[in-house]
Structure 1
């Protein structure tokens, strides 16, 4: 006799969703590397829009701050951490290769301070994210089984 439960569907969907989230984080990790390498090789940031990168940085930073505050799982917003870091690197490179080294260092210091203050304001000791596992993704199965 084969035993299946109605909880396999929701659990598999949860595992699939988390896996897809982590794949997105992995692909986002490599998305801006070609741009960074090109700037480093040419030692020039000509043709790269500073405003565009700054706006992308603001969007990803706001998403990270909101997700931490709401305690969303990392698989739902982790690509924004990667995007945020890559955009900080790009902005610093743009400033550096436009002969604005002091501005680059100042920007980096202010941005790090801002993000640390945001993290402290939004993240109490108990709210900070811990390791997330597939076991955590399948807790829905246990909860549904105990409620049936």
Structure 2
């Protein structure tokens, strides 16, 4: 887990005031190697954390390049910590996501690039998502 000083530094670098909720959310996300839903994040925060504040925090983090949304093949939106290449308004989206069919966790595979896709002339892509399914290393080893 990053230290409190490192969390404050990250928030300041991304032009965000280090509030208690922002510190807590960033701590949760930095400590988790897979994408989390809002409910999963909320369960790891102090009891009584205001849900509106949580949603605003997630939105700010996404806008400033600290988190990105991960679609999981359902209607659930999940969030994952961004890579170092992300910045405010410009997320590094050239990576694959992997959904484990056993534990249901979604991992960002930054080292695996999304393959190039050539679209027909009359099509224009604005987003791209690449989700693979299978069994993660933890579930394979039974840990």
* TM-score of the aligned structures, taking structure 2 as reference length: 0.28
Higher strand share: 2
TM-score scaled by length of structure 1: 0.27
Bigger fraction of residues in helix: 1
Higher RCO (CA < 8 A, seq sep 6+)? 1
